[in-house]
Amino acid sequence: MTTTATVDLPGVQLQAGDHICAFYRQPDERDDILIPYLLGGLAGGSKCTCVVDSCAPAHVLGRLAASVEVRSFVDDGQLEVLDSDSTYFDGGGFLPQRMLKFWASKARWSGSSESNVVRNIGDMTWAHRDKPGVADLAMYESELNRIIGSYPQIVLCLYDLTRCDGEMVLDVLKTHPKVMLGGMVIDNPYYLEPDDFLASRAR
């Protein structure tokens, strides 16, 4: 049996309540963030839910299997790797309130605690697809900040910088309290609290 790898993002300090955006340019860069983040959570006993769009769930499970016995984590309910069609686009289009409830349900895992923080991760390339509701991405990301503190959880959102225009990058920065840059997670000076973000959109 493969032992659990006690690895995580080198030099990155994570804590309950973090809502982090991380930009990448290549699939390898995406995996260099995604895989250690999940392995670190699994090693610490955290519930981990990963939703991918730029690759298949099987790719993530295969990468994880190089370090841990994935099936046991999946069977125990500690690990879920899903695709965007069954989550963000369940029913054919993106409905922010539905996804907010989805992430809230994942955060209510019975094993979650201050020392065993739920880790959620979303691969946000689905926002570039021609589907109903994707224009509500920024409002969704902002509203997610209202529920993150309800349960001990960390939410990491991955964005492919090669597909993001300047407006999207700015919206992402305005809606994430923390940003991952150069292998570090730092407080984001561009972040707006949800009410302030709503007010800025109303102008």
C-alpha to C-alpha distance for 201 and 203, rounded to whole angstroms: 6
CATH number of the structural domain spanning residue 160: 3.40.50.300
Residue 199 within any structural domain of the chain: no
Q: pLDDT tens digits, residue range 20-43?
A: 999 999 999 999 999 999 999 999
Instruction: Yes or no: say if 156 and 20 are a contact pair by the CB < 8 Å rule.
Output: yes
Residue 74 within any structural domain of the chain: yes
Q: What is the DSSP letter of 131?
A: -
Q: How many domains does the chain have?
A: 1
pLDDT of 6: 38
What domain range includes position 87? 19-181
Residue 7 within any structural domain of the chain: no
Reported for 162-171, long-range contacts at CB under 8 A and 24+ positions apart, including other chains, are: 162/25, 163/125, 163/128, 164/23, 168/127, 168/137, 169/23, 171/137, 171/138, 171/141
C-alpha to C-alpha distance for 183 and 195, rounded to whole angstroms: 30
Residue 203 within any structural domain of the chain: no
pLDDT of 2: 36
pLDDT tens string for the chain (203 positions)? 333 333 477 667 888 899 999 999 999 999 999 999 999 999 989 999 999 999 999 999 999 999 999 999 999 999 999 999 999 999 999 999 999 999 999 988 766 555 678 999 999 999 999 999 999 999 999 999 999 988 889 999 999 999 999 999 999 999 999 999 877 889 999 999 999 999 998 77
C-alpha to C-alpha distance for 65 and 94, rounded to whole angstroms: 31
The runs of H, that is alpha helices, within 24-180 are: 27-43, 57-65, 70-75, 96-107, 137-147, 166-174
Instruction: Yes or no: say if 135 and 128 are a contact pair by the CB < 8 Å rule.
Output: no
C-alpha to C-alpha distance for 106 and 90, rounded to whole angstroms: 16
Distances 135 to 141, 171, 198 between C-alpha atoms, Å: 12, 11, 15
Residue 6 within any structural domain of the chain: no
Residue 80 within any structural domain of the chain: yes
pTM comes to: 0.92
Give the pair of three-digit tokens for residue 201: 């959109």
Residue 198 within any structural domain of the chain: no
C-alpha to C-alpha distance for 179 and 160, rounded to whole angstroms: 14
Residue 186 within any structural domain of the chain: no
